[in-house]
Amino acid sequence: MSVETSVGNSQAVHAWKKFMPLQKDVPSKEPSTFYSIQDYPAGYLDKFDPNALFTTWAAKEVESNEGLSDAFLPVELQGGLYVTFVHKGTAAEIGQALGYMYGQWIPENGYRIDTNRKHFEVLSKNYGGPQNPNSQEVAWIPVIKIEE
């Protein structure tokens, strides 16, 4: 399930509130693993604007879309090269880690963000909720290696 949102006025909780009561009916590969997916429009990451809109998804991985309720919309992740890191802390704190990754680590290590693919976080057994300071999630940022 998805919702349009912005960093400055996050509406992501609404996607999760719609998704969680229905997710038990999703025949997923990993029943306790969830995905928070961000689909940024072209140019979104070129200049930070806290009011710029993007789409965020609350999701689970499935083998097939067949038999899913019409309440669910399909979203696909593309393969390719990703930078990943484990974030430990609250959902509100991940912005600082992402800022470092986008602004420093990725360019300093010879990559650029692949703006044609979705970004996502994997929320599995170590995820204790958005307010839990001990929560762990794995962030995946699509990148392209810069040829030297």
Domains (range + CATH), the chain: 2-145 (3.20.80.10)
Q: Chain centroid to CA 105: how far?
A: 19
User: Per residue in 107-138, pLDDT tens?
Assistant: 999 999 999 999 999 999 999 998 999 999 99
Identify whether the C-beta of residue 68 lies closer than 8 Å to the C-beta of residue 26.
Answer: yes
pLDDT at position 25: 82
User: Per residue in 3-56, pLDDT tens?
Assistant: 999 988 999 999 999 999 999 888 887 888 999 999 999 889 888 889 999 999
Identify whether the C-beta of residue 122 lies closer than 8 Å to the C-beta of residue 35.
Answer: yes
- What's the whole-number mean pLDDT along residues 91-105? 90
